[in-house]
Amino acid sequence: MEIENVVKVILPAAMAFGIGIAISPVLTHFLYKYKVWKKPGRQGKKSLDGTDAEEFNKLHADNELKTPRMGGIVVWGSSLLTIFLITIIAKFFPNATTVKMDFLSRDQTWIPLFTLVMGAIVGFANDLLDVSERGNGISLKRRLAFVIAMSGFIGWWFYEKLEVTGISVPFDGVLYLGWLIVPFFILMTLALYASGVIDGVDGLSGGVFAGIFSAYAIIAFNQSQINLAAFCAMIVGALLAFLWFNVPPARFYMTETGTMALTLTLSTVAFMTDSLGGGVGISALPIIGFLLVATVASNILQILSKKIRGKKLFRVAPLHHHFEAKGWSSAKVTMRYWILNIIFTFIGVIFAILG
């Protein structure tokens, strides 16, 4: 049975990778054919406080006008195709093996699948408007409103339907929150969504998210949540296919349709590997996703420094662009982030297993 479970986890990853590799050239053709990138003459990127992001525009203004967006389609597209194929095969060609390989289940994968799809749709709409001649994407306020509404609904579902009322405290039981579990889930989801700005350097976001979802696949497997482990592994396979075409020089960028889908799904996965799965998935998240935490923290510190001290703390935020501004090549930033990501995900997995 253990070998069958391992195969059940590896198969979706391999399928998603193969499908992603197959559809990427087709997607690339259409993205370049229809020039799915920001149009010349549009204003440069803005900082979170509304001012011009001068350092960023110096570093990446040309790439913004030459490299297609919406590369996240590879991630969720190959994931959805993988789920569809495995489910269809299990339904129309049922036997012990095909039924065993079907990992779409109400108790483990319906919720993360829902977040993946919803994040992909809203992110796609934002990207579509962002590359139009006159549009600038969906406003940040509306995107945040969507994230709050969706995470509020899922948080309520965890509380009301799945009876999740607390978060696991490593080595010390469960911290009871009651109905406060709902606003807690909303805040955690917002924080993760904010970390999506890590998609700013060729190969960076794909590598980081692949490491994080790999960690949660291992954690879920260790908790005997085999379907959830297979789901996470599938996303890893899809991310590796995306990364194949996103390493410097990137053929396309992930952008909102990918980062929104991934960050919202990660929030759900962390919750499902916590008290619900008898683990400490939430407490492990700041370790496993340390680079995401650093990304959000650098933005917050930059804003506070400009408001309180009247000057910037970093040459440009988030942190990975600060290193670029200091003279690091994008490839050096990416490689060093990958190294750190491996270290932190490794530590986080050990922490989750022991906790």
- The predicted-structure confidence for 15-29, as pLDDT tens digits, reads as follows 999 999 999 999 999
**What whole-number distance in Å separates Cα of residue 37 and Cα of residue 59?**
17
Query: Is it true that the peptide bond before 318 is cis, omega within 30 degrees of 0?
Result: yes
Token pair, residue 11, equals 């198969």
- Within 15-128, strands assigned E span none
Pick from 6-20, 79-93, 160-174: least confident: 160-174
The domain spans of the chain are 2-354
Task: Determine contact, residues 53/316, Cβ cutoff 8 Å.
Answer: yes
DSSP for residue 31: H
For position 283, what pLDDT does the model report?
A: 97
**What whole-number distance in Å separates Cα of residue 298 and Cα of residue 301?**
5
For position 79, what pLDDT does the model report?
A: 98
Is the torsion defined by CA of 216, 211, 187, 174 positive or negative?
Answer: positive
Q: 197-200, long-range: CB within 8 Å, 24+ apart, which pairs?
A: 197/259, 197/295, 197/299, 197/318, 198/259, 198/291, 198/292, 198/295, 198/318, 198/320, 199/253, 199/254, 199/255, 199/258, 199/259, 200/56, 200/60, 200/318, 200/320, 200/321
For position 132, what pLDDT does the model report?
A: 87
Helix (H) or strand (E) holding 167: strand 166-168
In this predicted model, what pLDDT tens digit does every residue of 21-78 receive, in sequence order? 999 999 999 999 999 988 765 555 555 555 555 555 566 555 666 889 999 999 999 9
Give the confidence band of 81 by pLDDT, cuts at 50, 70, 90.
very high
Task: Determine contact, residues 91/351, Cβ cutoff 8 Å.
Answer: no
For position 1, what pLDDT does the model report?
A: 58
pTM attached to this predicted model: 0.94
In this predicted model, what pLDDT tens digit does every residue of 243-283 receive, in sequence order? 999 998 899 999 999 999 999 999 999 999 999 999 999 99
In this predicted model, what pLDDT tens digit does every residue of 192-241 receive, in sequence order? 999 999 998 999 999 999 999 999 999 999 999 999 999 999 999 999 99
Pick from 46-50, 158-162, 321-325: least confident: 46-50
For position 40, what pLDDT does the model report?
A: 67
For position 47, what pLDDT does the model report?
A: 53
Bridge partner list, 175: 167
Measured torsion, CA atoms of residues 116, 283, 354, 108, in degrees rounded to the nearest 10: -30
Q: Is the pLDDT of residue 118 over 70?
A: yes
Token pair, residue 7, equals 């195969």
If you write DSSP's letter for every residue of 178-202 in order, what string do you get? GGGHHHHHHHHHHHHHHGGGGTTST
Task: Determine contact, residues 241/77, Cβ cutoff 8 Å.
Answer: no
Can you tell me the mean pLDDT for 164-191? 95
**What whole-number distance in Å separates Cα of residue 106 and Cα of residue 306?**
47
Nearest-10 crossing angle of helices 290-308, 181-194: 80
Three-state DSSP string of 225-281: CHHHHHHHHHHHHHHHHHHHHHCCCCCCCCHHHHHHHHHHHHHHHHHHCCHHHCCCH
Q: CB neighbours of 238 closer than 8 A, spacing ≥ 6?
A: 16, 17, 19, 20, 74, 75, 76, 78, 79, 82
Show the CA angle centred on residue 294, arms to residues 108 and 56, nearest 5°.
115
Give the confidence band of 2 by pLDDT, cuts at 50, 70, 90.
confident
Residue with tokens 């996303």: 235
**What whole-number distance in Å separates Cα of residue 107 and Cα of residue 162?**
9
DSSP for residue 52: B
